[in-house]
Amino acid sequence: MDDVTALILDDHAAFRRGFARLDDARDVAAQRAVWEPLALHLEIHAEAEERIVYPHLLRRGDHAHDETDDAIRDHNKIRDAIAEAGRHDVGSDAWWKAVWEARKENSEHLTEEEDGALPDFRRNADRDLRADLAQQWLRFYGEHPSGRGLTFLDKDPERYIRDNG
């Protein structure tokens, strides 16, 4: 039986590998081949967390308000950096700057999520819920191949917490 927090960790590992692969991408074609799927995966992952996981954390976590506020702010910073990268030619200095910003924000966020929100969620969500959300997570990815039908917009943290708490 899958656990949604394990599926999240799988994605986090993929993000770390993706950014590391960029270090070895020597030309524009190689950089684009790594970056475009990585950026899309980052976007879909944040959207999946916001739709499927954080609403449940908000209702039962011990420090859910602060953890959710931090997560939405971080997701916004990652979305902004991805959008900025999209405004520049792959491989240009401005593109690398934006990609590096996405990498830095993402690395900080993964650590916070793995050491804060996810432990809180595991402590307060039973196995059935974690398994049910894992199914929802997999279905979400299946229903939105390559992000089809999704929009990746920044969210106001306070409004998100109000609407989902």
Residues at the interface with Fe ion (CB under 5 A): 49, 113
**Rounded (10°) CA dihedral 70, 71, 73, 77:** 130
Q: Which residue is nearest to Fe ion (CB)?
A: 49
Nearest residue (CB) to Fe ion, 35 versus 137: 137
| Distance in angstroms (rounded) separating the CA atoms of residues 82 and 74 | 12
Nearest residue (CB) to Fe ion, 14 versus 129: 14
For 117, which DSSP code? I
Tokens 């859910």 appear where? 64
CB of 15 to Fe ion, least distance (A): 8
Nearest residue (CB) to Fe ion, 105 versus 113: 113
Using DSSP, state whether 51 is helix, strand or coil.
Answer: helix
CB of 31 to Fe ion, least distance (A): 24
Backbone angles phi, psi at 144, to 5 degrees: -125, 65
CA angle 137, 68, 136 (to 5 degrees): 10
Nearest residue (CB) to Fe ion, 56 versus 90: 56
CB of 89 to Fe ion, least distance (A): 28
Nearest residue (CB) to Fe ion, 113 versus 120: 113
CB of 133 to Fe ion, least distance (A): 13
Among candidate residues 98, 52, 57, 54, the one with its CA nearest the CA of residue 72:
54
CB of 22 to Fe ion, least distance (A): 19
